[in-house]
Structure 1
Amino acid sequence: MEMNGVNWDFLVGPLVGSIIGYITNGIAIKMLFRPLKPLYIGGLRLPFTPGVIPREKGRIAKSIGRVVARELINEEVLSQHLLKEEIYVQLKMKVSEGINKGIESEKLLGDLGEQLIGDENLEQVGVSLEEKLSKSIYERVVELNLGNLATKKLLEELRNGLGQSLLGPLSMFVSDSMLEGVAHKIEPVINKLVQDEGRPVIQSMVHQEISKFLNKPIKEIALYLQEYQQSLELGVITVYSQLIKKHLSKALYTLNIEEIVEERINAFDTLELERIILEVMEKELKAIVWLGALLGAIMGLVMNIV
């Protein structure tokens, strides 16, 4: 059929092919998500229902989780990013910023503790720390056997002439065996005194030191740290690097990223999952539809030529 010199029959094939390609690709993309549930006629389920993604959602979630955990967020990749020079520079900046803020602060260390963990929690931490330190120091003091140390020192001083000045003329009647006998009687008395009275004395001293520490101005601590800023920065970087190198693998194993991703995808409603996929691949999916139209037109043109 010709009209105004145009052979419309030659154009019908490409036009029809283009329309068919456009529609079929559009339907194929829709069938990725729809229908959302299986459709039945009688007792038979219609083929291709539900859509590919609703039907294979569990398998897709598992595959994505495995790819993310093994290829995207694995130990090697995270180590490279977490141990980059830029991270070290940021850590140094944070140390410097912290020291500068401390120098400008008018607060006490106790005020900072209350701000970070709250008044009640700070008190609980203080009491717990006081008890642990007191117990640890007390046990070390008891292990020292101060009675034995004191009596040894006393015997040494007496033998070096202190006994003569204390006892005067009677010192000639005091033998080493007598001194040792007295020392052996004094030793358990001193040890018992330490065991009975040492704990409250030590606890009182620890309490005073903790109180002094909490009442120190932040500015004073910050000025002290400023003198050793480079060493502090190096220490922070070293500790950070060691933590990453030693514990990243265990942290990833504990987190189980594969399982998290899988559970998260499975938790999505199918419509929500469709929205996310279309949002990410909207341009690409539209391109596939138009590519179908182009291929249909080409096939129609080829058929005309043949």
Structure 2
Amino acid sequence: MKILLTILLMVTIGAVINGFTNYLAIKMLFRPYKALYIGKWRVPFTPGLIPRRRDELAVQMGKMVVNHLLTPESIKRKFLNDNFQKEMTAVVQRELDNFLISEKSPAQLLDNLGIKNVHEKTEKRLNEVVEQKFESILEKYRDQPLKVIIPEKIIEKVNGKIPEISKFILQKGVDYFSSFEGNLRIQKMADDFLKERSGVLGSMMQMFMGNINIADKIQPEIIKFLKNEGTADIITSLIKKEWDKILEWEAAKIEEQFNKEEILSFVKKSVNNVIKLEQLFHAPISKLSEAYRSEIIDSMVPKGVEFFGEWLTIRVDVLMERLRLQEIIREQVEAFSVERLEEMVLTIINSELKMITLLGALLGGIIGLFQGILAILL
């Protein structure tokens, strides 16, 4: 019986000592969190291993992540992965579709970002740009003829339109003189003509014409004249000559012929009408994008995601270098609470640490068993 008690005592002592030693060793990885002092003498093994070497751990962890885990090659493979690109395309399409059906206007969105009165500011800036451009163009071409300034294609187009302009003018003339108003105008002109010639010529004309309406006689002849092809040629020739004279004008003459401020005001107004700033900034995004939404979502987004992925793949080395991930990880680890780090580690491997403690106790018990047997034998 005494032998059995001795062996059991040795096994128990070995198990308790070894189990407690393992438990203490695990705790000493983190505890104590800070160095303990007796006077000026620091207690050995304080602080715990991880708190004492946290700076070195932070540096090594940063190197490990950058050199072995989050490498440029792994990121490139991720970006070029078909499944990843499909997922990203779906996410961007969904988010962009929600944005494009928004009833908010661009002005409201910019206002939320702190950019106030964007319409007025843009219009003011646009007018300044137009004015600067107008001044620079005048300065550059002031002493040159308009035929040098105006693009050749526009001159050719105008030359081609002159016959049409002539026909338009003549047709308007025919329409006017064929109307009742035109008849009255001819009659008034004829009456004024006779009144101005109240002498022998006027009396003779009135005697020959009698009660005949002069306008009825003149009107068909005027219309016949306007419809004559030769008249169209004359008008075309006259317009062409005047157009050629205008092309010989120097740009400075435009300033003389027309008020500079009026021209500038007309140009500004025309630019604003073309761009339609008010509609652009105050219309709902859903209305602005209505005609292009399907094309943007179905065509542009996949191409954009693919292009962005390729762009990142090419520049990922530079981007990672600029991001300084190693430094970021080091700073984060250094700033991380040791208590929180211990909690995280124990949460993940708590069962394994308990098994290590129990395994230590088991090994201690086995060692105690052999020690007891050896003690009895010896």
Normalising by structure 2, report the TM-score.
0.59
Change (3 A) 1:196 1:278: farther
* C-alpha displacement of 1:214: 4.6
Picking from 335, 357, 365, the partner of 1:297 is 365
In the TM superposition, 1:88-237 aligns within 5 A as: 88-94=85-91, 97=94, 105=101, 108=103, 111-113=104-106, 116-118=109-111, 121=114, 123-126=116-119, 130=123, 147=146, 148-150=148-150, 153=155, 157=159, 165=235, 183=247, 185-190=249-254, 197=264, 200-201=268-269, 203-205=271-273, 208-209=276-277, 211-212=279-280, 214-215=282-283, 218=286, 221-222=289-290, 224-226=292-294, 229-237=297-305
Change (3 A) 1:240 1:214: farther
In the TM superposition, 1:255-274 aligns within 5 A as: 255-274=323-342
Structure 1 Cα separation of the partners of residues 340 and 78 of structure 2:
31
Query: What runs of 5+ residues in structure 2 fail to find an aligned partner?
Result: 167-232
Query: What runs of 5+ residues in structure 1 fail to find an aligned partner?
Result: none
Q: What is the letter of the counterpart of residue 332 of structure 2?
A: R
Structure 2 Cα separation of the partners of residues 246 and 126 of structure 1:
39
Q: What is the letter of the counterpart of residue 299 of structure 1?
A: I
Structure 1 Cα separation of the partners of residues 353 and 84 of structure 2:
38
Structure 1 Cα separation of the partners of residues 98 and 29 of structure 2:
56
- Residue aligning to 1:74: 71
2:10 and 2:369 in contact (8 A); partners too = yes
SS in 2 for 1:118: helix
Alignment pair present for 1:239 and 2:307? yes
Structure 2 Cα separation of the partners of residues 262 and 61 of structure 1:
5
* C-alpha displacement of 1:223: 5.0
Structure 2 Cα separation of the partners of residues 120 and 237 of structure 1:
26
Alignment pair present for 1:45 and 2:42? yes
Matched-pair identity in %: 24
Structure 1 Cα separation of the partners of residues 297 and 288 of structure 2:
14
Q: What is the letter of the counterpart of residue 67 of structure 1?
A: M
Q: Report the number of matched residues.
A: 288
| Structure 1, 33-42 or 253-262: larger mean CA deviation | 33-42
Change (3 A) 1:133 1:77: farther
SS in 1 for 2:276: helix
* C-alpha displacement of 1:264: 1.8
SS in 1 for 2:332: helix
- Residue aligning to 2:187: none
| Structure 1, 21-30 or 285-294: larger mean CA deviation | 285-294
1:138 and 1:202 in contact (8 A); partners too = no
Structure 2 Cα separation of the partners of residues 19 and 284 of structure 1:
19
Structure 2 Cα separation of the partners of residues 273 and 24 of structure 1:
22
Structure 1 Cα separation of the partners of residues 312 and 115 of structure 2:
29
1:21 and 1:293 in contact (8 A); partners too = yes
1:58 and 1:266 in contact (8 A); partners too = yes
Q: What is the letter of the counterpart of residue 306 of structure 2?
A: T
* C-alpha displacement of 1:70: 2.4
1:91 and 1:233 in contact (8 A); partners too = no
* C-alpha displacement of 1:157: 4.8
- Residue aligning to 1:251: 319
Structure 1 Cα separation of the partners of residues 122 and 133 of structure 2:
17
Alignment pair present for 1:36 and 2:104? no
RMSD (CA atoms): 4.3
Change (3 A) 1:298 1:137: farther
1:130 and 1:207 in contact (8 A); partners too = no
* C-alpha displacement of 1:286: 1.8
1:21 and 1:296 in contact (8 A); partners too = yes
